[in-house]
Amino acid sequence: MMNQPVRRGGRRGGAPSTREDILRAAREVFAEESYEGASLRRIARRAGVDPALLIHYFDSKEGLFSAAMALPFEPDDLAQAAFGPGMDGAGERLAAAFFAMWESEEYGQQLRGVVRAAVSDESAAERLRGFLQAEMLPLAGDYLPVDRSRYRMALAGSHLVGLAFARYILGVEPLASLPREDLVRWVGPVLQQYLAGDLASPADEED
């Protein structure tokens, strides 16, 4: 009588959902620990797969990080939500769309992972900078019918990222527990000034 094959528990092979399982686990671990602190072994354990499958699907830790932490939205969707109806109220609409993404189940964890990684790893920071400079800032020229459009978008974006870091990564109080509706209402006018207000500099006034 032939011996029955031994079934190994706890780890799965290449099932159809394996790639998504790995990505989901990687987002969780990168969001919790940063790029440097996250190990492939821990990600594999979280996903319930053999660590070799991470290399099979993504080649390396950096390849896995790039796939897992790709920003989970189309820049034009955010710009359209904020600027499509016109410039009146654009600051508040931009804040509402931005913070809603951070607090959504679909995008929040991924965004936290991107920002945590950018703080701790230069290659991750470079990827985030590249995305902002190549994808987000050029949108300003398409939507903002005002002077200094790239500066305006850079100011608004930096303000939002700084708030997100304090609220969602550091957990600074009372900002972290402030209702999102209040945050949007208070931040909206500041963004509106960046986007559509007077940005004249002293050098302009001397001309």
In a domain, 13, yes or no: no
In a domain, 7, yes or no: no
Residue-range definition of the domain harbouring residue 49: 18-68
Residues 111-152: tens digit of each pLDDT: 887 788 778 777 778 777 877 777 777 777 778 867 888 889
Residue 31 to residue 102: CA distance in whole angstroms: 13
Residues 80 and 63 in one domain: no
Residue 49 to residue 121: CA distance in whole angstroms: 26
Residue 189 to residue 89: CA distance in whole angstroms: 8
Residue 163 to residue 57: CA distance in whole angstroms: 35
Domain boundary among 28, 46, 68: 68
pLDDT-derived band at 46 (thresholds 50, 70, 90) equals very high
Which residue matches tokens 């686990």?
25
CATH number of the domain encompassing residue 177: 1.10.357.10
Give the distance, in angstroms, between the CA of residue 148 and the centroid of all CA atoms in the same chain: 25
pLDDT-derived band at 38 (thresholds 50, 70, 90) equals confident
ω before 179 within 30° of 0 (cis)?
no
Whether the per-residue pLDDT at 13 is higher than 50: the answer is no
Q: Using a pLDDT cut of 90, give the percent of the chain over it.
A: 37
Residues 166-189: tens digit of each pLDDT: 999 999 999 999 999 999 999 999
Residues 58 and 100 in one domain: no
Domain boundary among 28, 51, 68: 68
Residues 69-126: tens digit of each pLDDT: 776 667 788 888 899 899 999 999 999 999 999 998 878 877 887 788 778 777 778 7
Residue 98 to residue 96: CA distance in whole angstroms: 6
Q: What is the pLDDT of residue 139?
A: 73
| 42 closest CA partner among 58, 28, 56 | 28
